[in-house]
Chain A
Amino acid sequence: MSVQVKGTKLFLVMAAVLFFISPLFLSRYAIYVLNLFAIYALVAIGLNLVMGYTGLISAGHAGFLAIGAYSTAILTSVAGWLSPLIILHVAGLLTGLIGFGLGIPILRLKGIYIVMVTLAFGVVITEIILQWSSLTHGDDGFRVPRAVLGGFVFDSDKKLFFLIQPITIVMTLIARNIVQTRVGRAFRAIEQSEIASETMGIDLAKYKTKAFGLSAFYTGIAGGLFAYAMTYISPDSFNMGVSIDFIAMIVIGGMGSILGSIIGAVILTGIQHALSELPKVQTLIFGIALIVFMIFMPKGISGLIMDWKQGGPNRKQSQ
């Protein structure tokens, strides 16, 4: 047992070391894709907090990604001397605040109405970005200045790797802790029985808005990193289809699972880049996968892994 634990730890340390030296021997493109994996993993974790854990729906998360991306881009262009860590925090908090605000009308709604409101939110955000061209350059898109941290310029995918990956890892661990402690348990409780939750003392309004705010914070940070990674953003990067892709990520990866969020983000982003020449085929694959998973594997890939672990060769009574 303890040998096994030691083995696992050693494996994890080695994997981490290997991961962080990988930019030395990976191609520029591969590093760029790894960065996108991380960014979308953050989005998927954020969306999962609201959908998988709390049982609400958001069909407008691209809107949050856009707010994070544009606020990071604008802030970096007017105050480039600020540390990107501060800029990302501001972008994340701003997005979180807006998410919190969107959570309020959601409180009175159920099911399909939540879908409609969040969908509309996503559309409104891209429309605002288009119209507010004095700030956002509208249709022309926004050229994002490089992030600078104490004289160090993040001007390549390789350098950005060391900004994006650590942030993603830390935020993933934080999310894991949140879902395993009081707040996360309240989220999950709400998803499973609102009536039992409130009679156990959980303030539904408070926790639903918190879930939206937290989810938007994660997605806002991801948006900021997205802006740095892409170096150019336009309203089209955040259309409705993008929001649907995010839902596909967590459905395929696994609702209510941090690991599932990462798996879903990696698989979908991977397919997107493998089939970048064939956008139509891509959409088709995502659509079919979404349906197949919802019907046959509602717990997603992480659910399959969990089932396999429990029923696999070294089956043991959970302690």
Chain B
Amino acid sequence: MPLLSVAKLSIHFGGLAALINCSFDVEQGKIFSLIGPNGAGKTTVFNIINGIYKADRGKILFDGTDITHLAPHNVARLGVARTFQNIELFSKMTVLENVLVGQHIHLCSGILSGGLLLGRVRAEEKLAREEANNIFDFLGLTDYRSHLVSDLPHGIQTRVEMARALAAKPKILLLDEPAGGLNPQETQVLMQLIERIRSDLKITVLLVEHDMAVVMGLSDRICVLHFGQKIAEGSPGEIQKHPRVTEAYLGETVEHA
């Protein structure tokens, strides 16, 4: 059984059909990429999975649960975490605080227990910081943990957003154009990180990315969207040879860099 199964998803905004009958399955432990030209509907797929948008038709199964109609916070609780195309960090908070918010669903203190700083809350807070430190080690963010997010360069912010998502210990991580705005070295580091998220942390990755080198280098499987419709799905090799894909990208070369 696939970890995530998107079946016949359709949504429209006013007159615009942003997704039409879109289906794909993401297998556990794989890196699955969703590609397509601007406006193809990739981010919209993420937003529907998250429960931010409601699909007109279709169904989404995640880990055996129908999440089609769940509210965003309940989808998160089931093990779905994501990053955003235009970074959505808590910019007035420090890197550490962002990652602590990422752990929200795994912590339990409330107004009263937190306000009275009960023993178990102290223990929980301490543990949360230790976990955060592990994530910082993993992503190479240790030097930045006390920095305000707004003071950090874009490349680091991208990683902070990944750190926050990983803090939720998700089963699947949705990455929306993580290489956007990164220089070649940063992109290289990012690729290694995504590979390690899958291999070391055993987290399934659903990736949206325009950088074809990243997509072809990382993906186990690729699904191509064009004006809201799926036009191809297959391995990187299959996708590169697919006539409709090269056509859809209108001259944009789809090749392994």
A8 CB–B CB distance under 8 Å: no
Question: Could you list which residues of chain A lie within 8 angstroms of chain B, going by C-beta atoms?
Answer: 174-175, 177-178, 181-186, 188-189, 192-193, 195-204, 210, 214, 256, 317-319
Q: Using Cβ atoms and an 8 Å threshold, which residues of chain A touch B115? A: 174-175, 177-178, 181
In this assembly, does B111 line the interface, its C-beta being within 8 Å of a C-beta of chain A?
Answer: yes
B111–A193 CB distance below 8 A? no
Q: A178-B111, A201-B77, A318-B147 are in contact. List 9 more A-B contacts (CB 8 A).
A: A181-B114, A183-B111, A185-B97, A189-B104, A193-B88, A193-B89, A199-B75, A200-B168, A201-B168
B53-92: which have CB < 8 Å to A?
A: 71-73, 75-77, 80-82, 84, 88-92
B73-A203 in contact (CB<8A): yes
Q: List 27 A-B contacts (CB under 8 A).
A: A177-B114, A178-B114, A181-B114, A182-B107, A182-B109, A183-B111, A185-B93, A185-B100, A188-B90, A192-B93, A193-B89, A195-B52, A196-B90, A197-B101, A198-B52, A198-B71, A199-B50, A199-B81, A199-B82, A200-B81, A200-B102, A200-B104, A202-B104, A203-B71, A203-B73, A318-B146, A318-B147
B92 — nearest CB in chain A belongs to which residue? A192
A174 to B: closest C-beta gap in Å? 4
Find the B residue at minimum CB distance from A174: B115
Report chain A residues within 8 Å CB of B116.
Answer: 174, 177
Closest 7 CB pairs of A and B: A201-B76, A181-B114, A201-B105, A198-B72, A174-B115, A196-B88, A192-B90
Give the distance in Å from the alpha carbon of A198 to the alpha carbon of B101 in the complex: 11
Best-buried of A193, A197, A199, A204 by chain B (most CB within 10 Å): A199
B90 A183 Cβ-Cβ under 8 A: no
B124 to chain A, nearest CB (A): 8
Q: Is the CB of A184 within 8 A of B52?
A: no
Interfacial chain A residues near B84, Cβ < 8 Å: 195-196
The contact of B109 among A175, A181, A188, A202, by CB within 8 Å, is A181
Query: A192 — which chain B residues lie within 8 A by C-beta?
Result: 89-93
Tell me the nearest residue of chain B to A196, going by C-beta. B88
- The residue in chain B whose Cβ has the minimal distance to the Cβ of A185 is B101
Which chain A positions have C-beta within 8 A of B90?
188-189, 192-193, 196
**B76 contact from A183, A184, A189, A200, Cβ within 8 A:** A200
Check if B125 is an interface residue, CB within 8 A of chain A.
Answer: yes
Cα A145 to Cα B100 in complex, Å, equals 47
Separation in Å of the B56 CB from the closest CB of chain A?
21
Name which residue of chain B comes closest to A178, CB basis. Answer: B115
Min distance, Cβ B133 to any Cβ of chain A, angstroms: 13
Most buried by B among A178, A186, A192, A200: A200
Query: For window 115-159 of chain B, which residues contact chain A by CB distance below 8 Å?
Result: 115-117, 121, 125, 146-147
Q: Is B164 in contact with chain A by the CB < 8 A criterion?
A: yes
Asked if A181 and B125 make an inter-chain contact with CB atoms under 8 angstroms apart, the answer reads yes
Nearest CB in chain B to that of A317: its residue? B146
Q: Kindly state the separation between the CA atoms of A108 and B114 in the bound complex, as whole angstroms.
A: 28
Give the complex CA separation of A177 and B125 in angstroms: 12
B15 close to chain A: CB less than 8 A: no
Complex Cα distance A300/B168, Å? Answer: 34
In the assembled complex, the CB of B34 is this many whole angstroms from the nearest CB of chain A, namely 17
Partner of B73, one of A181, A193, A201: A201
In contact, A189 and B121 (Cβ under 8 angstroms): no
Given A177-B117, A185-B104, A186-B104, CB of A199 within 8 Å of CB of B111: no
Chain B residues with CB below 8 A from A195, complex form:
52, 84, 88
Cβ-based interface call for B110 (8 A): yes
For B91, list chain A residues within 8 Å (CB).
192
Q: How far is the CB of B141 from chain A (nearest CB, A)?
A: 15
A198 to B90, CA, bound (A): 12
A181-B104 contact given A192-B90, A200-B164, A202-B73, CB 8 Å threshold: no
Q: Which residues of A contact B81 (CB under 8 A)?
A: 199-200
CB distance from A25 to the nearest CB of B (A): 34
Rounded to whole angstroms, the CA-CA distance of A318 and B151 in the bound complex is: 13
Q: Which residue on A lies nearest to B146, using beta carbons?
A: A318
A204 to B80, CA, bound (A): 17
Pair B121/A181 contact, Cβ less than 8 Å: yes
Q: For B125, list chain A residues within 8 Å (CB).
A: 181
Contacts of B76 in A (CB 8 A): 198-201
Q: How many Å lie between the Cα of A200 and that of B101 in the bound state?
A: 7
CB contact under 8 A between A198 and B73, given known A189-B101, A193-B89: yes
A308 to B177, CA, bound (A): 38
Which residues of chain B are within 8 angstroms of A200 by Cβ–Cβ distance?
76, 81, 101-102, 104-105, 164, 168
Which of the residues A178, A196, A202, A210 comes within 8 Å of B89, measured between beta carbons? A196
Q: Which residues of A contact B73 (CB under 8 A)?
A: 198, 201-204
Q: Which of B89, B92, B115, B147 has the most CB of A within 10 A?
A: B115
Q: Is the CB of A186 within 8 A of B111?
A: no
A55 → B minimal CB distance (Å):
11
